């Protein structure tokens, strides 16, 4: 992602959600808040997806088999 566009806050929020999602089980309220944040704009969805891809590529997120 090109953070020169001033989207650092969106990038940081996406990373925060991603870390929370993978470090703990989100409550129903938290999951609804994440979905609401993603629904705000296509930028939020794109950045969150990019963060997920980056983490998977770097091995920071275990595969589905490893999480179960």
State phi, psi for 61 to the nearest 5 degrees.
-110, 120
Give dist(CA 8, CA 30) in Å, integer.
22
Please state the pTM of the whole predicted model: 0.73
* 11-40 residue pLDDT tens: 999 999 999 988 888 999 999 999 999 999
- pLDDT at position 15, please? 93
Kindly list the distances between the CA atom of residue 25 and the CA atoms of 5, 17, 20, 43, 66, in Å, as whole numbers in the listed order: 32, 12, 8, 25, 15
């Amino acid at each position: 992602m090109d953070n020169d566009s001033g989207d650092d806050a969106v990038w940081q929020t996406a990373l925060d959600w991603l870390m929370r999602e993978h470090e703990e089980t989100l409550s129903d309220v938290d999951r609804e808040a994440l979905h609401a944040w993603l629904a705000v704009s296509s930028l939020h969805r794109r950045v969150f997806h990019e963060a997920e891809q980056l983490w998977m590529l770097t091995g920071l997120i275990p595969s589905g088999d490893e999480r179960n």
